[in-house]
Amino acid sequence: MLVTAGVLAAGCGAEEPEPRWRSSAPAAAPSSVPTAAPPAEPATLTLAFAGDVHFTGRTLGLLDKPDTAFGSIAKTLGDADLTIVNLETAVTGRGTPEPKRFHFRAPKTAFAALRAAGVDAASVANNHALDYGQVGLLDTLAAADAADYPVFGAGRTADDAYAPWLTEVKGVKIAVLGMSQVAELSAQWKPTDTRPGIAMAFDPARASAAVKAARAKADLVIVFMHWGIEGSSCPSAQMKTFAKRMARDGADIVLGTHAHTLLTDGWEGDTYVHFGLGNFLWYGDSHSTDSGVLKLTVRDRQVVKNQFLPATVSGTGQPVLVSGTAKKRIESKLKAAKGCTGLAAAPAP
């Protein structure tokens, strides 16, 4: 540009002879080839995860007003780019109770409540999705379809159950899979080519294949597990082994629920792992009223910030964020639990 400006300035003096060293050939036209744009910065995403949700007992009445069912915690859930929980119930009014102690089911308005709270999708890969048999599970899937609400981790066939939920946020393609590692009735509840069921971690080859297939389709792969020992804040050897498998096979984030108490987090290589998010919207005290929301900041497949916002399950069954002494108590509990995770404090360099 400076050379061009100099030529134009010299042309203003009409009587000045052209210097012998200046070429009389016309100036070359500017190149029409566009300059390559610098590579775009990787998008930064905020993800939110919370634990087990169902609508029975004291929480069933919350569905009388689905828009406010989650209470004040909805703002925390809704301000993330993507929010996911575990839906710990069949959505059905039919079916026969399975031979087990606890049975949970909810009306179709459960999906309206989740959506109103800012929850974008829910795992149904858990030990209550078939509480009312295959009829109840099929009703759950049909109700989700009718509500246009994404659920994952279960399906009408094995292929459906192990398929990821695919979505895109800020140009980032995300695949989310759900799987259960709860042994009760697992043989009867596993899906086949002709039978509905939930995706099981007990078929490690199928689980690995599912994660590898998701890796080929997405920029970010998340595995939402249902696992753990009820009441224990430490992961079992089985959980640790499976987390390593998922990390090896391409999962960027592995997390889960089921133990009815909080566990904690760390890194398996470059993969972020959180072993247990506890109860969230819950009908009773169970093993613990401690709860919370996990917020992750992710950039270019890497969790660059992890923050757990402590909460308690209130008398209404709704989780409420806590502060002061209550917050410090939960944080101290989670700090102590770090010692049994077997995970690193930071991602591999």
Q: Answer yes or no: is pLDDT of 18 > 70.
A: no
Q: Answer yes or no: is pLDDT of 85 > 50.
A: yes
Q: Which domain holds residue 129?
A: 42-340
Helix H or strand E encompassing 296: strand 290-299
209 inside domain: yes
The pLDDT, as a whole number, for residue 285 is: 81
20 inside domain: no
The pLDDT, as a whole number, for residue 321 is: 98
CATH of residue 96's domain is: 3.60.21.10
Q: What distance in Å separates the CA atoms of residue 219 and residue 158, rounded to the nearest whole number?
A: 24
Is 259 exposed, middle or buried, given 0-12, 13-18 or 19+ CB atoms closer than 10 A?
buried
Residue matched to tokens 């016309």:
26
12 inside domain: no
Tell me the per-residue pLDDT of 300-346, one tens digit each, with 9 for 90 and over.
999 999 999 999 999 999 999 999 999 999 999 999 999 999 999 99
User: What is the percentage of the chain residues whose pLDDT exceeds 90?
Assistant: 87
34 inside domain: no
Q: pTM of the prediction? A: 0.89
Q: What distance in Å separates the CA atoms of residue 162 and residue 142, rounded to the nearest whole number?
A: 17
How many CB atoms lie under 10 A from the CB of residue 17? 6
Q: Answer yes or no: is pLDDT of 218 > 80.
A: yes
Helix H or strand E encompassing 152: strand 151-152
16 inside domain: no
Instruction: Bin 231: left if φ > 0, else alpha if -120 < ψ < 50, else beta.
Output: left
Question: Looking at residues 174-200, what average pLDDT do you find?
Answer: 98
297 inside domain: yes
Tell me the per-residue pLDDT of 20-79, one tens digit each, with 9 for 90 and over.
333 444 445 555 566 666 777 899 999 999 999 999 999 999 999 999 999 999 999 999
* Closest to 166 measured CA to CA, from 108, 82, 238, 91: 82
The pLDDT, as a whole number, for residue 31 is: 53
Could you give the number of structural domains in the chain?
1
Question: Looking at residues 178-191, what average pLDDT do you find?
Answer: 98
194 inside domain: yes
287 inside domain: yes
Amino acid (one-letter) located at 112:
A
Sheet holding 165-169, edge to edge: 165-169, 172-180, 220-226, 253-257, 271-274, 265-268
Name beta bridge partners: 90. Answer: 105
Question: Looking at residues 126-148, what average pLDDT do you find?
Answer: 98
Cα dihedral 293, 294, 295, 301 sign: negative
Q: What distance in Å separates the CA atoms of residue 232 and residue 337, rounded to the nearest whole number?
A: 10
